[in-house]
Chains A and B, each alone.
Chain A
Amino acid sequence: MSDLLPYLRLFMRYRARLALGTVLMLATAASGIGLLALSGWFITATAVTGVLLAAGVAVAFDIYVPGGGIRAFAVTRTVSRYFERIVNHDTVLQLLRDLRVNLFKSIARLPPTAAVRLRSGELLNRLTTDIDRLDGLFLRGIAPPIVAVLAIVITMLLLLFGSVALSLSVGLTLLALAGLSLGRGWLKGQASTSALAESNAQLRAGTIDHLQGLADLQAFGSLRHHRDRLLTIERYDHALNADTNIRVATGESILAAGLQLSMVGVLLFSLYLYGTGTVSGAIAVMMPLALMALLEPLGVLPAAGWHLARARASAVRLREDMNQTQKSAHTASRTDIVQSDKPTLCLTNIYLTRGAGATVLNNVSLTIQPGECVGIVGASGSGKSSLASLLTAQLTADSGSIFINGHRITAIAYKALFNQIACLTQQTDLFSTTIADNLRIAESGNSRTGTAKLWEVLEAVQLAEFVENCPDGLNTWVGESGTRLSQGQARRLALSRVLLRDPPAVLLDEPFSGLDSKTAENISDYLAHWLQGRTTLLLGHDRKVLPPADRWFHLENGDLKPIDS
């Protein structure tokens, strides 16, 4: 449970609202118990009185108080349920916001070297699943046991009409039953939840492999072999899922059986008490009916235990993911400030290996003079992007040093570094927001860029016409839930962001990937002009499709060799 503590602490921020939600849940459960118990009491009491009246015995029976009580319970059950849902969902939505903000804050603290890992599909996938599970922690995991205990206490109070011993013994039995159900769900959940996550991830990875490797698999004639492997994973995943679901269902059945048996026990005992004259017939009926109404608040306990186990596993995984991501980063103090109109970028004797010891950069040295434009060409995978990552502190070299304007890059404060250098990364990151907001990410400081400036950079990358024709213009929503940009359009939008940034030093990694040659040529002409006076590093696979540079290099097998012009 201690793994969930940070989240429980987060909940404490909303303790008043959560308490209100819990009280409303309890009011719903109590009204349910009250409605059924009072109705049973009422019917039995009227039956007994009715017989006496028919026999001519004069008895006074107040029908209005219990009748009113029944009607009141009927209304409070409905009303409290309605408001319980409203209050709790509102709270859950606030928690959802806090969870995301907290997670993002801890992610945001990661140094750039660690942030790169977050691009991986699997890690992202895990983050989504885990945060979704934590969203349901309160409503499905924590509230049900609280309500169950309180409902049992109410039932115990009603059973006091019979005897203290009855109330205590039944109450303790019910509490034990509830505890066992919750505990069983928790334990079984602990056992299966990580296996489930693993088999699910395997199924996903296997499916992606199958689609990605379709050409290879079909050519080699091993399509069936791989499909069989995939289906084996699927069967295992299904079996695990079914097993878990059946375990929860079994828990619910055991709980229902225990509860119903207790109800029958109470029924027989209270009828016996009636026989001995200890209680009235009405009370004898009321008591078992109170137990009957417990099925609703207690029935969800096995699933609640399971939810708790899952949420805990998610919390653990989130923490581990964050720790591991953090581990890959070093934490030296970065205080140096660089500020220059035309900074010098200098790499000396850089060695870099990746994966299983493969050399990416082999003693690479390069100095880009202030205002100079250097182009490096090489095949994809030759290490060009690693150079860009090194210069923006997203990667650390195995040995060698990088200096920005004479300052060692490891000592420069990130903020200062990124104010000096703007980088168009090889991967295009657009955010699901408007085109204008996607551009404004490049704003420095708090000044809000006017639309004229936005149109200007869009014009430069030849996107202005497209944006003009979008229904909402600059406010057109892009990304997952909006207009989908083509690869080339997205690339150009990312490029225009760098233009808007107006930095002293620029790194452009494959600036024209996904663009047709005509557009690329036009933008290249503009860039040639724009890059004048900026310290620039151009990276690409073909110098013909890059803007002109002062010097060209070829990167091959980790060696950087100048190209004679």
Chain B
Amino acid sequence: MTASQWLAKQRTVTFWPLRLAALYGVAEGLLIIAQAGLIAWLVHQVVMQNQAVSNLAAAAAFLVIVVLLRPIFQLLKARSGIQASQTIRSTVRQRLLLKAEALGPTGFNDKSRGELASQLTDQVDALDGYFARYLPQLFIAVAVPSAIALTAFSQDWLAASFLLLSAPLIPLFMALVGMGAERLNRNQFTALSRLSGQFLDRVRGLTTLQLFNRVEDSVDDIVHASDEYRQRSMRVLRVAFLSSAVLEFFASVAIAVVAIYVGFGLLGYIEYGPAPSLTLFSGLFVLLLAPEFFQPLRTLAQHYHDRAAALGAAELLLELDQASEPASDGYSPNEAPANTAQPADLAVPQPNLTLEAVRIERGEGGGGRVGGGRVAVLNVPHFSAQLGERILIEGPSGSGKTSLLLAIAGLLPVSGKLDRHFKNPSIGWLGSPAFLANTSIRENIRLGNPAASNSAINAAAQKAGVTEFLPRLPDGLDTVIGERGLSLSGGQAQRVALARVLVSTAPLVLLDEPTNALDAETEKTILESIDRLAEQEHLIIIASHDPILRQHVDRHYQIVNGQLEHITHV
């Protein structure tokens, strides 16, 4: 599918707004014809027929109504276009968001995550002008000039043919304008983005520039790059502007030719065709229509950059739209994992979690598949555990501890048998580094259990030691954190993430390096919480290389050469 095909497909989600926008635009075009006719008629009556203006009140009133209706339709057109664009962008954004969710946490690496975020925000919004303005105008630019040409034809076929003569040229105009505008866009936008990229990476890398005492030279670089960009883009622009100048030229010349033809005709200098029967009414009518014939095309040309911007965005969005989702023998990461039916024989207690001959493939260093590179394999011949147990999985960094946790959580597709039998499908998760959303601490804790009451959140914050540093925050639990707010230290972030685990009702808790880089106090809180959760009949699985955790677990595994092995305590 090409970008333009993809764009065309998106419009199908909304039917009426786009068509209404076009129809309102056409209605406005018809009103323009009526306005021109009424003006010409009034002038003719007064100037040629010597009627007093006061006798023409009805026509004047009619003209006022037409003149007032035009802006109303203009507004309706804009509103419908805006509505259409909004519906389409919302639909596209939601679909792509679900798509990103389906790709799963391992479906993209850090770099593509930034790109993905920009696709979901900026690129989707770049579609706005195309649907709100360009598409309706595309229809208007065909319909309205046709109606105007027909009207002009009814008045004076020769004058109309001056307009119509340019009609076969219209597709040519469009192509010209299109090519010009497209080239303009391609060149200008890529050059501009390169330029601002250069500017921004110098701002971003200012520290490095300072460390090398190179800040002053960078100013010269920016001047240099900008000037080069200016010269290059001016060369392109000089040509690109010609195409719109052609349209401008035809519009101007059409008015001039019609005016001169009509003038000569009225003087009786032209014996040929309909010219002798020209009146001030028909002549003025056609003259007033001449600029309006070209106006929709000129408007379309102005909206052409909307199309180019949308096409550019579509290319990127299309890529995401068509990205293949991971095929999984295990759980689909998209939905909450389903519970397998409990076996009938309840006499023998069944383990709650079983992995049998599980094979996990993952990108090197825990990265995503998108990142490419080598694929490492982790084999789990047998592993089972039940509520109330604390299990430690050790292994050097990069051996696949995190991947194993992701697989157990159903977030990484695996082959083999992976069964979870828990009444509650949700899972307590503490990643490394702890994830904090750009929102209040309260909302961050609530992510562990959206249904949690405020008092439950307060209790969890208390247990996780979040309340200890709350007095130093401006709004307590409602302080917004993250890049858009206050920054927390690693230990503080870990406590918030722990509170999230504690507020959750999940029976299975997965902790990834929970004691990494923590102060002694936070570490103590974490260890206490692990013990307490186990007492409260949770199954806790910890991936870590921190030996201190060995004293807080019941069983201990190690990843050796891509294989999970049980270690018996000495």
Contact = CB atoms under 8 A, between A and B. Distances in A.
Contact of B435 (A213, A254, A378): A213
Contacts of A31: 252
B211 A267 contact: no
27 contacts: A40-B287, A42-B263, A45-B263, A82-B245, A86-B237, A100-B226, A108-B209, A115-B206, A118-B207, A121-B114, A207-B120, A209-B437, A214-B100, A214-B101, A219-B428, A220-B449, A246-B82, A257-B67, A261-B64, A281-B46, A356-B472, A358-B469, A358-B488, A381-B490, A425-B207, A425-B208, A425-B211
B101 A223 contact: yes
A104 B279 contact: no
A222 B449 contact: yes
A225 B431 contact: no
A191 interface: no
B243 to A, nearest CB: 11
Contacts of B450: 222, 224-225
Contacts of B483: 120-122, 205
A82 B266 CA distance: 34
Contacts of B244: 85
B448 A220 contact: yes
Binding site secondary structure of chain A: helix
Given A128-B200, A252-B74, A354 B213 contact: no
Interface string A369-413: 000000000111110000000001010000000000000000000
A435 interface: no
Given A93-B229, A354-B487, A253 B203 contact: no
A337 B450 CA distance: 59
A417 to B, nearest CB: 9
A336 B196 CA distance: 37
Interface in B184-220: 190, 193-194, 196-216, 218-219
Given A211-B108, A268-B42, A431-B198, 5 more contacts: A47-B47, A118-B203, A219-B426, A222-B426, A261-B68
A246 B500 contact: no
Given A67-B263, A115-B206, A44 B47 contact: yes
A245 B482 contact: no
Given A40-B287, A205-B482, A444 B213 contact: yes
B16 interface: no
Contact of B71 (A257, A271, A418): A257
A97 interface: yes
A70 B290 CA distance: 14
Interface string A344-359: 0000000000111111
Interface in B464-519: 469, 472-473, 482-484, 486-492, 497, 500, 504, 506, 510, 516-519
Interface in A98-115: 100-101, 104-105, 107-108, 110, 112, 115
Contact of B212 (A110, A127, A418): A418
Nearest to A280: B47
A46 B279 CA distance: 10
Contacts of A285: 43, 47, 284
Contacts of A214: 100-101, 104-105, 411
A74 B426 contact: no
A458 to B, nearest CB: 17
Given A223-B101, A254-B71, A501-B212, A357 B472 contact: yes
Contact of B199 (A100, A205, A380): A100
Interface in B422-456: 425-429, 431, 433, 435, 437-439, 443, 446-450
Given A249-B75, A356-B469, A63 B267 contact: yes
Contacts of B3: none
Contacts of A112: 207, 210-211
Nearest to B367: A487
A381 B517 contact: yes
A271 B204 contact: no
Contacts of A430: 201, 205
A86 B490 contact: no
A221 interface: yes
A104 B218 contact: yes
A433 B431 contact: no
A250 B75 CA distance: 6
Contacts of B406: 215
B13 interface: no
A86 B241 contact: yes
A201 B482 CA distance: 13
Interface in A518-535: none
Nearest to B261: A43
Interface stretch (A12-20, A49-57, A162-170): A49-57
A355 B207 contact: no
A561 interface: no
B165 interface: no
For chain B, the bracket of interface size reads 35 or more
A112 B209 CA distance: 10
A96 B201 CA distance: 17
Interface in A489-539: 494, 497, 501
Contacts of A75: 252
Contacts of B288: 289, 292
B435 to A, nearest CB: 4
A207 B121 contact: yes
Interface string B260-301: 101110111000000000011001100110010000000000
A361 B321 CA distance: 47
A53 B267 contact: yes
A104 B428 contact: no
Contacts of B433: 381
A94 B47 contact: no
A124 interface: yes
A47 B280 contact: yes
B532 interface: no
B99 to A, nearest CB: 11
Contact of B97 (A93, A227, A289, A358): A227
Contacts of B204: 118-119, 124, 429
Contacts of B227: 97
A216 B431 contact: yes
Interface in A229-246: 229-231, 234-235, 238, 241-242, 245-246
A260 B97 contact: no
B48 A51 contact: yes
Contacts of B280: 43-44, 47
A11 to B, nearest CB: 17
Given A50-B268, A264-B63, A557-B519, A418 B210 contact: yes
A462 interface: no
Interface centre among B101, B208, B431, B500 (most CB of A within 10 A): B208
B64 A73 contact: no
B52 A275 contact: yes
Given A214-B105, A226-B437, A356-B489, A94 B260 contact: no
A54, A70, A116 — which one has the most chain B CB atoms within 10 A of its CB? Answer: A70
Interface stretch (B4-12, B83-91, B345-353, B387-395): B83-91
Given A211-B117, A281-B47, A557 B520 contact: yes
A453 to B, nearest CB: 16
A479 B113 contact: no
Q: Which of A39, A118, A246, A481 neighbours the largest number of chain B CB atoms within 10 Å of its CB?
A: A39
Given A124-B200, A221-B425, A358-B519, A215 B238 contact: no
Contact of A104 (B90, B199, B253, B447): B199
Given A108-B216, A425-B207, A97 B226 contact: yes
Contacts of A494: 208
A81 B243 CA distance: 12
B492 A356 contact: yes
A442 B263 CA distance: 75
B229 A230 contact: no
A442 B209 CA distance: 9
Interface string A427-455: 00111110000000110100000000000
B375 interface: no
